[in-house]
Amino acid sequence: MTITQHDKQSLIDLANEARKRAYVPYSKYPVGSAVRTKSGKTYTGVNIENAAYPQTMCAERVAIFKAVSEGEKEFEVIAVVTDNGGSPCGGCRQVMAEFGLDTIVLLADKNGNLVKDTTVKELLPEAFTPEKLVNK
């Protein structure tokens, strides 16, 4: 599928809408995400914090895990919306790499402005991928 500017903005808008449902009583830093699969389906996610901080889950992983739980494993594009257009954490980058280094990553701010248009490969150079686990 071709990803148009309209498609990108629509995905950013979905992520920004999802962001309103983030559970962030501690950081007050809501994040929304929307991932579009190669089959054309879209899944959203939000960050969900926990009083036991290590148990917090990022929006990007929520969206990806929802998609995988529905049988999707090939992603075309993921949008991430934060207050200031922040970039995914290392853990989220590794999860994105699991499903494709060529996935487009759109980073946007709370006003829906695209801050950065990149790929997983650019966000995580030298990524450890499933191919590295091939038995010899």
Instruction: State the catalytic residues.
Output: 60
How many residues appear in the chain? 136
- Whether 124 and 93 have beta carbons less than 8 Å apart is answered as yes
Instruction: For residue 73, give both structure tokens.
Output: 């494993």
DSSP bridge pairs for 48: 23, 57
Instruction: For residue 27, give both structure tokens.
Output: 């950081």
Sign, CA dihedral 43-9-56-89, equals positive
